[in-house]
Amino acid sequence: MTESRFRKDVFIALSAVAWADGKLDPDESDAIVRAAVEEGLSIEEITAIEESTKAPIDLGVIDRSGLSKDDRLFVYAVACWIARMDGHVTDSETDALAKLGERLGLPERPRVHAEALVREVADLPAGDRPAMYDLAELRRLLGERLRQPPSRPRTDEG
């Protein structure tokens, strides 16, 4: 998978998704900032991202021009994880995820796969806890699965 560095606007867009239900929980904020820190952003960029977690913002800030397909899918998957972090995904969060998917230029099928992988990684021993959620494993699995041919349902028992 491409190991390109995400710009701060990606994390600000994640904040916009998290704000979609009208509130941004501390766990969601911590998860966004942690992802930015893991990406290696500067302290100034991280400060701007922290600011985006303090008040609702518009999703229109994301610029996908520097993002590979893998990157765009990873950003969408992280947004799915953040949206489900409080135990449920509201209609407004679902709408924000759809808008993000469109802005990222992701067809429906990869979005569904990304959402399934988010749940799969959440079921690992570390679970869905923000400090323990394995973003690196999510990124690895997305890259691995993108390169696999679609599986066909088996019609026989043997």
The alpha-carbon radius of gyration of the chain (Å, integer) is 15
Total domains in the chain come to: 1
8-state DSSP, 125? T
Residue 81 in domain: yes
Query: In sequence order, what DSSP letters do the residues of 57-121 get, joined into one string?
Result: --GGG---TT--HHHHHHHHHHHHHHHHTTS---HHHHHHHHHHHHHTT--HHHHHHHHHHHHHH
Backbone angles phi, psi at 3, to 5 degrees: -105, 35
Q: What CATH number is associated with residue 52? A: 1.10.3680
Q: Is the pLDDT of residue 158 over 60?
A: no
What does the pLDDT look like over 110-156, one tens digit per residue? Answer: 999 898 888 887 775 555 555 556 777 778 888 887 766 555 545 55
Residue 62 in domain: yes
Residue 75 in domain: yes
Residue 31 in domain: yes
In the three-class reduction of DSSP (H, G, I as helix; E, B as strand; rest coil), residue 66 is classed as coil
What does the pLDDT look like over 105-119, one tens digit per residue? Answer: 999 999 998 988 888
Residue 152 in domain: no
What does the pLDDT look like over 53-71, one tens digit per residue? Answer: 998 887 776 777 878 888 8
Residue 158 in domain: no
Residue 18 in domain: yes
pTM equals 0.74
Distance between CA atoms of 25 and 2, rounded to whole angstroms? 30
Residue 154 in domain: no
| Range of the structural domain that residue 84 is part of | 8-146
